[in-house]
Amino acid sequence: MESNTIWRSALGAVLALLVPVEASAHPHIWISQRLEPVAEGGRYTGLDIEWRFDPESSENEIAAIDRNSDGVLSVEENNQLIADTLVALEKAGFMSWLNTGGTDFRPTKAASFKAVIENPASFTPPDWDRHAGDKDTPAREPKEPKPPPHAPRNLVYKIRIALPQPVKAFTITTFDPEDFIRVEVDKAKMPAGCTAAKHATYKSEFIPGHPVFADTVRCALP
């Protein structure tokens, strides 16, 4: 999964500027995915994907890209994020596998890409141990929890991907096999004509013998 590693390295480089080296984790980052198909003439021609990063990961990256700390990503800040991150995302196939009726394939180009800061956050996962399973992580002294400077926020990536040809149905599965990044579909925000299920074979398995099967979404028009 060399392409996945490229993007994780790019995003990790940003996070590494802001968190201790020993703060490796399982998963490190949690993403809630929302999907909205794009249809024209009775067929799907593309899809809009939204990734909401968990609040802690969001704050780490917002600190690096919101240069003037005004809580809004400007055109210039978005352009810098595109230059720093989008190429790596495309090389990683957006951690996604699409199927429009044949074999699974990786999307390699975004029709558009934009990031926004959602305040307050609409995605706040339950607390989890970001160090769980990291045998190489040294023991750390407990620290007094610091109150957050403001209410939780989500960094949101808005990605549009064009399908290679108009289709009546497609599936998309997004996951990181190494579970560095956990991606879960927001099942409360499923669009009409789409259903979510667990993929039969695609899985993350950070700890051998403890697989997390990927969410897969199927959208179909009548």
Residue 4: what pLDDT? 53
Each residue's pLDDT tens digit, 61-75 = 999 999 999 999 999
| Contact criterion met (CB below 8 Å) for 38 and 60 | no
Q: Which residues of the chain have pLDDT under 70?
A: 1-25, 133-149
Q: In the prediction, which pLDDT does 13 show?
A: 47
Which pLDDT belongs to residue 169? 98
Instruction: Label residues 57-96 b or e (16+ Cβ within 10 Å = b).
Output: bbbbbbeebbeeeeeebeeebbeebeeebbebbbbbbbbb
Task: Indicate the SS3 state at residue 55.
Answer: helix
What is the residue extent of each domain of the chain? 2-14+25-124+151-169
Cα–Cα distance, 212 to 123 (Å, whole number): 20
Q: How crowded is the C-beta side of 118, counted as CA atoms within 13 Å?
A: 19
pLDDT at 16: 41
- Distance between CA 191 and CA 73 in Å, rounded? 27
Provide the pLDDT for residue 15.
42
Cβ atoms of 31 and 184 within 8 Å: the answer is: yes
DSSP letter (8 states) at residue 62: H
